[in-house]
Amino acid sequence: MIVPCTQCQAKLKLDETKLKPGSYTITCPKCQTKNKAVIAAPEPEPSKESLLTNEAPTTEVGWLVVHDENTAPQTHPLKLGKNVVGRLSESKPCDVMIDTEDLRMSRNHSIVEVAIKPNGQYEYLIYDCGSTNGTYINSDTSKKLTEYDLLYLRDGDTIQMGRTKMVLKTQKVVPNAAKAAQVVGKQGFNKTVIV
């Protein structure tokens, strides 16, 4: 789990697998600010009834829908935890491989991390992997994400890696990948930040 420092925005890493559920205070090593973090209780094991009725729990908690003038439409599922996103590569594979000719997109470009908040809702965070050309959100040229930035995403945000754009769709708004692709396909294209 990554917790952004409320003062200096440093990324504070917390290994929730070694901690019990509850509330914790983390001191930022950079600025000494005390930050709160909550570790949620693990989800209960599925009941025998749900296993017998073949109700498999969904592993897709959102989708990245490539929506770009120069790249073919694609829909990629997101899972809980870290999802490394980058250009399709056999030598440096990542979790979400975008099939694009855009060499400005790194093979391991950004990470979209999906976590469960204490209220049971999903939250989506993004940070850059130290890519050459950075990551932009919603065509905002004033803010190029770096490996030191951590940003919360909302459904419908456009993420640009290199010159390739994709839209985040969440389970809160659409039920599946097909609907996510359909909704995004009806939208116009966001402006491309020239990198």
What is the reported pLDDT for 43?
A: 52
The 10s digit of each residue's pLDDT in 144-159 is 998 888 899 999 999 9
146 and 101 together in one domain:
yes
Q: Around 132, how many Cα atoms within 13 Å sit in the side-chain half-sphere?
A: 10
User: Has residue 194 been placed in a domain?
Assistant: no
**DSSP-derived pairing of the beta strands 96-98 and 81-87:** parallel
| Count of structural domains within the chain | 2
Residue 12, domain extent:
2-39
74 and 8 together in one domain:
no
User: What is the overall mean pLDDT for the chain?
Assistant: 88
User: Has residue 47 been placed in a domain?
Assistant: no
Q: What pTM does this model have? A: 0.72
What is the reported pLDDT for 23?
A: 75
72 and 26 together in one domain:
no
88 and 137 together in one domain:
yes
**DSSP-derived pairing of the beta strands 74-78 and 81-87:** unpaired
35 and 67 together in one domain:
no
